[in-house]
Structure 1
Amino acid sequence: MLLPLVAFVTAPVLAQSLGVLGRGEVASATAPFLLMSVVASLGLPDAVTYFVASRSVRMRTIVGGVMGIAAALGLLASAGIALASGWLAGGDTALAGLVRIAAIPLPLYLCLGVVRGIAQGLNRWNLVAREQAIFAVSRLMFIVGLLGAGHLDVLTATIVFVVSPIMGGLAYLPLLGSSLDYPRTIREPASLARLFRYGSMTWLGAISGILIFRLDQTLMTPLSSTEELGLYVVAAAIGEIPGILTTSIQNVTLAKQSEDPQLRTLGETSRLGLLANGLLSLGLAAASPLIIPLLFGREFKSAVATAFILVLAATLNVPGAVVGAGLAARFRPGLRSLALAIACIANLVGLILLVPRFGATGAAWCMVLSSLVHSAVAVGIFHHLFGGRIQTLVVPRHNDWLNVLGFMARLAHRAHLPVPMPPEPVIPRRAIDPDAHL
């Protein structure tokens, strides 16, 4: 969780240094980069994770074919952003220049996504965590260094935002020599065409997912104002913290379920993720009225209500993210994409209707709507195909509470906080478990 911690530290620094207008300009400049980093990926990172985890592809196929195509797609995406920069900037010439600058690293970022997919498929989660740590620390060092030197402005902040993620790629250097011959045994060798076919089925979902989470910031300036975007970005700094936890759970679920698709494990993961995310979101919501004015400045006080709504949306999205990963792991990526596409349509309609009138708050309620739709559709599809009780996926049980509270108590104990340990959860016998068939 180092990345959200660094985001929490740097967000007020940027807000105080750049102000509402400047922070909004940085968000406007980097939003197309974030959007195209998923749109142009063609679902390749998830495809790589699936086939590597299921031992169905040779590394030479990935390195020799996928990486080159990812780089070419990045170049095309950068060119597309450059051509549309004037419209994306709302006619602001200076902001259009920042949009073009932010798009330059896209080829490298798309290649990094493929490498991350390899690491996830190999269960090298230590490298994935190291990537996030390098990314977070480099961003913090750059921002603090620029602030101390008196050079932190909209341009330098934009460059830091798009360069620091690529710095995290240094974490994957150990893969160069250790994984090119993995696996030595292939269950059913997959061709490059099959890998791209899987990727194409996840592509719609990838586009829909990034549209749900980034389209609001991309369209905020044309539909409302840069000031509203600045407020929304501050609220999103709070609201995205539980979302990072959800993404981590989703990535692990895809890799683990691709290797060994167990329905019982999927249900437990969904429930525990929902419970942990909900508790984290509740704590963030309670702290927001104090944290936002204190860290970001009183001019951002109106972002508190938006932060409340965004943490609610993050919690409601957990079942959809986890169950969607379960669908993709069972070679149903198209159905996962369908759930995300329906949620994206709901989000887009909401943005068009609400943002011009309600600004940042309207965009936040659109996130709640899309999260509800995503989870409902994904869980409904999974239940229809694979059976089981819906409650198994979305309703935490007594043992789930004990597991989560026990984990929190152990963390507090390690930090030497006076928190009593809860009792150990009671594991029911399979014979009396109402969901034993799962």
Structure 2
Amino acid sequence: MIRSRISSPKIFGKLGNSENLGRLRGVIAYSMGPVLGLLSGPILARSLGPDGRGQFAAIMQPISVASAVASVGIPTAVTYFIAKKFDRKRTLKLGLLLCAPISTITYLVMAWYATVVSANQGVNLVLLWFTWSAVIASAFVQILRAYWQGVGNWRKLDWERGLFAVLRFVAVCGVAIAGITVAGPYAIASLTAFVIAAALLYVPRRSLTKEVEVSPSVRAVWKYSASASIGTVAVVASSRLDQVVLPAATTSVELGYYAVAVTVAEVPVVFGTLAARNLLQTSASGKSLRESFLDVRLYLVAGVLSCGAAALLSPSIVPLVFGEDFRESVLSVQILAISSVYTILTVSAISLIAGKGHPLVSSLIPLTGAVLTAVLFWWEWEEMSSIVAAKISLISQLGTLFVATIAICWIWKKRANQ
């Protein structure tokens, strides 16, 4: 049988084997969210307009950062200890137990912040209190995802992510067909889809069978979580803090422009998410730095190429798809597309270093971006707009990648001398 020379180039490996088919499934599942988000984006934009689209973002985006704070690095610890072959049942229970009080406190803080957002964006306060209670559910879902990530069950994670994307798209379409033109019902529909899809992450008792007698102590799990929490919160904050602060810093119209820009420019980040997901597990299981990076090289190349495509095509795609009212989003898309390249490389480095047992070192990487974002937002507060926010994101992600490069070189040199 004649084999095509392009069927097995070194950069991609052999096609058709189960490993690459699994990667393809992962790409499809994880890309469904951004892709269907692109498809539902025009529906939201045309149904709500810039003002209503901004209100929808004001409701939904703070949940991302708050969920990271609510879980404080516990999911990373759960994945790490399960990948190290510690008792799965005890690790999962410890993770859920430690998360409960912290997620509750986080929600109470969010309930206070809701009063600020409600006053500035004109969103009903009770609606914010109700929808933002999802931060507690999201924290627990992250721990369940971490369990399956630790055992390397990518299929279940892929199905959950894909189902959520489909259900969210169907829910948004259903609300739009009903002729609703206010943001609240769209947010409730999206969060309902999240809860339904999360049911796939249920851990049956047979999956809790311990493989060894060794169980992680509460102190060990908490210590690792505390070290990793800085990075877990900071990596989300450095890429999402802009969307959390914007509702208090600018108008809902500017927030609507920025929300559309993020929808388009962050589609390629799905490849970074997949790379980071695999790197944490493979790195913790003992693979070398080189082997770990080679394992996700396809994701990294595809992510960078997708960012370039988003930047080049946005001048024609954004007005056509979202409407002329959102032409102001084009420049923000182009800036954020470049920022997404840095994000993909950075989140991969963070997972790799955390998997090698250096959670505190990995935490310093996104912390740089979070600090830069906060400082630049403070500096530009009076001049804030969607374009200014995009520039701040670009600068903060560049700084984060610089620190990540230094950290990787340090880890590589340290292991080479051992």
- Measured against aligned partners, the alpha-carbon deviations of 1:283-312 in whole angstroms (never above 9, x if no partner) come to 122221122111111010010110001111
Q: How does 1:358-397 map to 2 (within 5 A)?
A: 358-387=384-413
For 1:177, the equivalent position in structure 2 comes to 205
* Residue in structure 2 matching 1:314, options 340, 347, 358: 340
Distance in 2 separating the partners of 1:87 and 1:64: 36
Query: Which amino acid is the alignment partner of residue 114 of structure 1?
Result: I
Distance in 1 separating the partners of 2:143 and 2:81: 12
For 2:273, the equivalent position in structure 1 comes to 247
For 1:28, the equivalent position in structure 2 comes to 58
* Residue in structure 2 matching 1:237, options 242, 250, 263: 263
Which consecutive unaligned segments of at least 5 residues does structure 2 have?
1-30
Residue 82 of structure 2 is aligned to residue 16 of structure 1: no
Query: Which amino acid is the alignment partner of residue 126 of structure 1?
Result: R
Q: Give the number of the structure with larger relative contact order, counting CA–CA contacts within 8 Å between residues 6 or more apart.
A: 2
- Measured against aligned partners, the alpha-carbon deviations of 1:309-335 in whole angstroms (never above 9, x if no partner) come to 111101122332212211101110101
Distance in 2 separating the partners of 1:327 and 1:338: 11
* Residue in structure 1 matching 2:185, options 124, 147, 156: 156
SS, match of residue 233 in structure 2: helix
Return the offset for 1:90: 4.1
Contact 1:205 1:337 in 2 (8 A): yes
Contact 1:274 1:315 in 2 (8 A): no
For 1:51, the equivalent position in structure 2 comes to 81
SS, match of residue 302 in structure 1: helix
Query: Which amino acid is the alignment partner of residue 139 of structure 2?
Result: L
Query: Which amino acid is the alignment partner of residue 247 of structure 1?
Result: T
Query: Which amino acid is the alignment partner of residue 107 of structure 2?
Result: S
For 1:109, the equivalent position in structure 2 comes to 138
* Residue in structure 2 matching 1:97, options 112, 126, 130: 126
For 2:308, the equivalent position in structure 1 comes to 282
RMSD: 2.2
Contact 1:234 1:303 in 2 (8 A): yes
For 1:291, the equivalent position in structure 2 comes to 317
Distance in 2 separating the partners of 1:303 and 1:355: 19
SS, match of residue 212 in structure 1: helix
Query: Which amino acid is the alignment partner of residue 342 of structure 1?
Result: T
* Overall identity of the aligned pairs, in %: 23
* Residue in structure 2 matching 1:120, options 138, 149, 152: 149
Return the offset for 1:126: 0.5
Residue 219 of structure 2 is aligned to residue 193 of structure 1: yes
Distance in 2 separating the partners of 1:263 and 1:191: 28
Contact 1:39 1:210 in 2 (8 A): no
Contact 1:61 1:192 in 2 (8 A): no
Return the offset for 1:342: 1.4
Distance in 1 separating the partners of 2:384 and 2:249: 10
Which consecutive unaligned segments of at least 5 residues does structure 1 have?
390-435
Distance in 2 separating the partners of 1:246 and 1:194: 29
- Measured against aligned partners, the alpha-carbon deviations of 1:355-376 in whole angstroms (never above 9, x if no partner) come to 5325111111111112211111
Judge which range, 85-94 or 118-127, deviates more.
85-94
Return the offset for 1:107: 2.1
Give the total of aligned pairs.
Answer: 388
Distance in 1 separating the partners of 2:310 and 2:193: 26
Distance in 2 separating the partners of 1:386 and 1:437: 9
Distance in 1 separating the partners of 2:140 and 2:313: 38
For 1:326, the equivalent position in structure 2 comes to 352
Judge which range, 41-50 or 189-198, deviates more.
189-198
Return the offset for 1:272: 4.7
Distance in 1 separating the partners of 2:336 and 2:124: 27
From the superposition, tell whether residues 437 and 5 of structure 1 become closer, same or farther in structure 2 (CA, over 3 Å). Answer: farther
For 2:379, the equivalent position in structure 1 comes to 353
- Measured against aligned partners, the alpha-carbon deviations of 1:348-399 in whole angstroms (never above 9, x if no partner) come to 222222353251111111111122111111221221232299xxxxxxxxxx
- Measured against aligned partners, the alpha-carbon deviations of 1:22-64 in whole angstroms (never above 9, x if no partner) come to 01011112222222100111111111111111112x2232343
Contact 2:272 2:345 in 1 (8 A): no
Name the TM-score, length of structure 2 as normaliser: 0.87
Contact 1:15 1:296 in 2 (8 A): yes
From the superposition, tell whether residues 92 and 230 of structure 1 become closer, same or farther in structure 2 (CA, over 3 Å). Answer: closer
Distance in 1 separating the partners of 2:292 and 2:381: 36
